[in-house]
Amino acid sequence: MKKILFVCTGNTCRSPMAEALLKAELNKRNILDISVDSAGLAVYGNAPASENAVLALKETGIDILGHTSTQITKQMVDEADYIFCMTKRHCEALKAIADEGKLFVMPVEIPDPYGGSLDVYRECRDKIMQCIPLILQKVKE
């Protein structure tokens, strides 16, 4: 089983959206040998997904209401086969604890929508959706 980990800052917007979008695509394609998780570099407690992240995904039929933020751990890094960071800065921060061979910046850098309007979150969602086929291609190499 291959393990993919998405990483952003607070694990309330980008990485949980990426996790849910990839899981939905894997389910649609009946791909069962890939697991997906997400975490943040600077998580404050067990926060829910941001309201606009929930709404942006709900528009695509995906429910992330049950998400709670998770602080990244060394164990998560060690267990992941692929770590997709939302920005170069996230990958730089992980270089101290992760094998660089498993660190990847998203095919399109995903700016932080935190605090933005629903339209900003929709744009974020759509950028992540554009990345999903490229991520699957990378994982299947």
In one-letter notation, the amino acid at residue 4 is I
DSSP 59: T
Nearest 5°: phi and psi at 59?
-60, -20
Q: Are the C-beta atoms of 56 and 125 separated by less than 8 Å? A: yes
What the block records as the tokens of 56 is 């942006």
Catalytic residues: 8, 14, 112
CA angle, residues 14, 48, 10, in degrees to nearest 5: 45
